[in-house]
Amino acid sequence: MDTFKPEQPSIPGVAADAAKSKPPEQPPTVYEPAPRRHAPSQHMIWVVAAVVTVCSMGGALLVWNVVSSLNARRSAAEPMTAATTITAEPWKPPKGLPAGPGPVATTVELAKTWASKRFVFPDSVTADPVQAMVVHLPDGSYWAFSLREPFGTCALDYVTDMQKLRDDYDFAATHPMVVNSCSHTVYDLLRYGGPSDGGLVRGEVVQGTAIRPPMAIEVRVEGKQLVAVRME
């Protein structure tokens, strides 16, 4: 027995070789690399860029609308200067047209049947001057009327060309007619029609959608003068 190597003590329940046995070897630790982060796809980049562009344009448009609204309010609030003052020019009848009430034609000028002459007369409702006409009818009388359609703004016209009435208005006439080019209404000055008040007025509607004859103007014969007196 080696005096410098004492015997190992005997421990109950422990094998004698247990002290000599080596501890079990641990398996080597394996380190797995961290998962790689995928870079954003090119499609996603374009989507983000498009969203940013739309937001920028929307913001710019909003700013432009706000600025425009403020400028408009400022302009409306500012008083008009002499340079920007708008003045309406008074309506002037065409040169050479007589104005009623008063003499508007002579019997010499309208000696022939269906002869006519234009003049100016104040509207019975608005008092604005409107063009009118007086016509020498086949029975020897004279009839005057407004050349503005009743309750409207379209101008009436006196047509003596029978071919024009057929071509433009599809109306076969044997004598001159008054027409409305806006509604293609045809008025016959030899016939009487009823206005809304139940009376009879010369110029019955023989074609079209007009609601009544032209507005009549009373004309008196004083010597050789035809004097326009009043509009109905």
Residue in the structure block whose two tokens are 């009623």: 100
The predicted-structure confidence for 103-112, as pLDDT tens digits, reads as follows: 999 999 999 9
Given a cut of 70, whether residue 140 has pLDDT beyond it is yes
Q: Which residues pair with 146 in a beta bridge?
A: 132
> Is the CB of residue 144 less than 8 Å from the CB of residue 219?
yes
Cα torsion 170, 175, 180, 185 to 10°: value is: -50
132 found inside a domain? yes
Residue of higher predicted confidence among 27 and 160: 160
Long-range own/partner contacts, residues 46-55 (CB < 8 A, 24 or more apart): none
**Do 229 and 186 fall into the same domain?**
no
Q: Which residues pair with 168 in a beta bridge?
A: none
**Total number of domains in the chain:** 2
188 found inside a domain? yes
Q: What is the pLDDT of residue 232?
A: 86
Q: What is the pLDDT of residue 49?
A: 60
Mean pLDDT score across all residues of the chain: 76
Given a cut of 70, whether residue 217 has pLDDT beyond it is yes
Strand 216-222 vs strand 177-180: parallel, antiparallel, or unpaired? unpaired
> Is the CB of residue 156 less than 8 Å from the CB of residue 217?
no
Count of helices and strands (H, E) across the chain:
2, 10
Domain region containing 226? 97-148+215-232
Burial class (CB in 10 A: 0-12, 13-18, 19+), 190: middle
84 found inside a domain? no
**Do 107 and 131 fall into the same domain?**
yes
**Do 122 and 137 fall into the same domain?**
yes
Q: What is the pLDDT of residue 83?
A: 37
